[in-house]
Structures are given as C-alpha cells and as structure tokens.
Structure 1
C-alpha cells in the first residue's frame, strides 16, 4: 500500500480549500491527491500530472468518478511543462501546487526499468518515453571523466573516479545492459571495508544516472518558478525533496522569490518526518518539506 510522505504537514501548508484550483505535479499513486480532493468540494479542481503512463492509467481508474464530475483531470507528461498544461486546460490562476520529488514504490518495484539495484533488470531508468537516452546509453557511451563527474555531482560519491574506471573496464569487455552488471562494477570499486555500510554502495551511482537520464534537476529548476508565476495571491507551493541536490534547488528558488518580494517562505527550516513516520514508512526518512506563499 502506498503511504504518502508527510501527509498532514503537506495539507497544513498547502491548505486546500473549497472551490480551489490545485495541481499535484507528481501524482504517482494518488496518496496526496486523494486527500486534496477531500478538501476542495464539488466546485474545486485538481490537475494530476505524472510522467509515467502506467501511473496515469492507474489514476484514471482509481479516480474515475472525480474525473466524471469534473473535479480531477489527468496529464501524462513532464511537470517541467506545467505552464503549458495550465494554459491548455484553462486552469487559470492556481491556489496551490504540490511537488513530491520522491520515487514511488511502484516505479521502483514494478516498472521493470532498472531503478532498483536490488533487482536484475534492464538498465532503462526512464520515467516517460520522451527521453533522449536510457541508463544503458549513459553507462556505455559517456567518456570516463564525464561519467566520474556525473557520479560525483549527482550521486555525491567520493569514489566516483574509481567507479567510472571500473565501468569503463567492464564495458570494454562487453556492453553493460543489466542492473546486476552495474552493481558489480560499483562493488569492485569499493574497498571491502566500505561495502557493508548503512547505505548500499550502488545507491549513489544509481541515483546519479537516474537524475541524468530524466534531467530531474533541470526539470525542477524550470517547474518551480513557472508554478510560482501561476499562483494567485495567497496561493502556495509545497515541495517535498529527498536528497540535498533537490532540496538546494527548492531552497534557492524560494529564497530568490522572497528577495524579489513575490511572497513569503513559510518554512524557515525544512520540515522533516517524526521518528514514528520514519519507522512506519522508511521511504520518508530523507524527506524535507518546504513551502512558499505568494504575495
């Protein structure tokens, strides 16, 4: 069962209200969407966006009655195009936008695209079909120095150069196509004493490649300012991030908007889950929530 992260805090800061217009920019399995719909009444509207066609098909089935009565619409696409979607579907000024940048359990466990190093699957890692390259392309075609920079910058792994070299040695023997092959490269680059820590050695490399394949940070950097532009007065953005690179972008966008007198940062420090939520929902452990209200 999907458990939405920081649900009560999300609702507290988003403040969905009767008749409001909202966007769930990362609708996933609909955990946050369901709760937003409970607060907006018969005249409210929510646009649910997700890049994954499987997620959109699930949402259309799960929220069919809300779609029939006009309270909910579904867009399969990249949230970087959020402004285009608002214009196309005549949403007008928005009362709130929610971004949850986490990877859903369904995507990790059921997509078959190699998002998890715990399953042996083809190296794909694409959210949608409209991407320029797959994880296999990145791993096999990127020059060694650039690959090391990717792993260091987007995975923040200090052993990035050793990992990149191990990948290049392996792909000279044969093309790397499966997750297990990439994991083996990473493990060979790690000294034995560092292979059994709290975080699996492959975690950061998989994160880095996924970010590059889907241009995740570029999409966030584009979508947040556009969402701010589309808010009505007192409209709010709530953003949930799961690693420092995402959180840094959210923090900087909100700080820039505050300096430009566009509104108020509602979270002086990011909101993080309490111990009980972390125990009940391990995927929430690294979550940080930030919120902004437009003037």
Structure 2
C-alpha cells in the first residue's frame, strides 16, 4: 500500500509554512522542507526558514543539513526526502512537504531517474583544466550542442553543474535533460495543496517580507557569509543573497540591492506559480491576508476527505 504524502506548494510568501503547521497538527504530521536553500546552515533570514517557535513542536526535516560551501543537488534532495517519508510513515505519521522548489518536490515524489554514473575523476580534471585555460564558455558552447535544454539552465560561471552535465553526457551517452525528464509513477500517494493569491496582493506581501527580512538582519547574515569566503559558492547564488554582493563590493547602493531583491522575488513567485500550474495536479485555493485562516479551515476539511479516499 502506497504512503500518503501531502505537498503544500505555491509561490513565495503566500502562507505555505503556516498551512503546513496546521495540517501537521490536524493529521499527526511531520514537515519536510521543500525549499532547496533551507538546507544550508547560517542562511536563515534570506530563506525565510521556519523558527523553533513557529514549528509549535512539529518535527521538521531538511533544514541546516549542509554547510554553505557544500554542493547540494536535486538527486541529493530526492534521496534524503524519500528516506524521511519512509521514516515518518513508519511512525504512522503523515509526511508533509512544504515549499516552493518545484523540481525538487517533483523529483522526490516521482521516480526521476538521475544518472547512476559515478564521477569520472580523470574527466573532471580535464574539464576543470579547460575552464582554467580557456574559460567556461568553451565548455558551455559544447553543452549547447549536446544538450541545449540544459545549457539554457546552467550559467557558464556555475562550473560544478556545467562539468557535471558534460560528464553525464560523455559517460552515459544521455543528456542531463533526458535524465531529469524521465518520470515514472509515484511510489507514494501524493496530494498537492496549492495556495495562490491575487498578483498585486502577493507582490505587496513579498515587498513587505523583504522589508521585514532587512529589519531582522538579512544584510548582516549576508555580510557574515561573504566574510567567510562563500561568495562563489552554489548557496550564495540563491535569491536573498546574490543581490547584496554588488553592494558589499561597493558597486551598488544598498537601496538598489533591496529593490533588485524585491524584483527578483516577485519574478521568482511568477515562475513558481507557472511551474506548479503546468507540472502538477494541484488542488488550488485562493487566499487573501484577511481570509487565510478561514480558507485554511476549508482546506483541512477538504484534505480529510481526500485522504479518506486514498
């Protein structure tokens, strides 16, 4: 019998964290973060990581498991989360994934086939030498030829992902795009609950959240990570962190950096919404700041019926 898993999805700042707690309290649940950035230690404010107080005693997973200079992939996320789902279900509790990283959540809940090929150390060294001597664009242009879809997703300066995409092609004859597209039946019974909000309301809420993050010390958080030498790490390319690097280098005003962060967050929300609309079978609920508690009661009632049918 397949295990039930509830996934709370939707754009940033819409109320996913709060809803996941309400579901957990109502259905004896435990929460797994569905945010690819919350795995990093010391990156709390910029990722809107849930606090111990907000958890209300509900167990949470996939938080603070990596240092900011450690790599973390979709395949890593899939492995961790599937183990946690088994563990939570084994304790007769309901696994709840809450977050906005669509590809990560989808990979965890469906049988994406990531390449099992181990890293080829010799090939890795060869590719690294090409970057050192010729720059990353030589490899990026090659990736455009063999896997144009993946090339669009990988910035030339993201050397780690660039090398890995070429490695997969060279060692398996398959593209990274082809690997991540292979999706089978879910090994679980996933139920997707989506929150959406009228766009201007959501954008206002996002802007307010950024202002609140600044008050909570986001700039100090980024400064600390920058001073520790993490500027070029994968973790620092996340929204909430990369926007302040030009300011710390004296290339941009703080006000401009905050404006860029708000703009990037709004654009990200739009991409999240599009992803979940197109990729997953989601039960959508429209909320407003004033009606959110009332709507949560409706969701809990609906979810009880859905889970009974599973």
Q: Which of the two has greater helix per residue? A: 2
Q: Which has the higher contact order (CA 8 A, sep 6+)?
A: 2
Query: Which TM-score applies when normalising by structure 2?
Result: 0.35
Query: Which TM-score applies when normalising by structure 1?
Result: 0.36
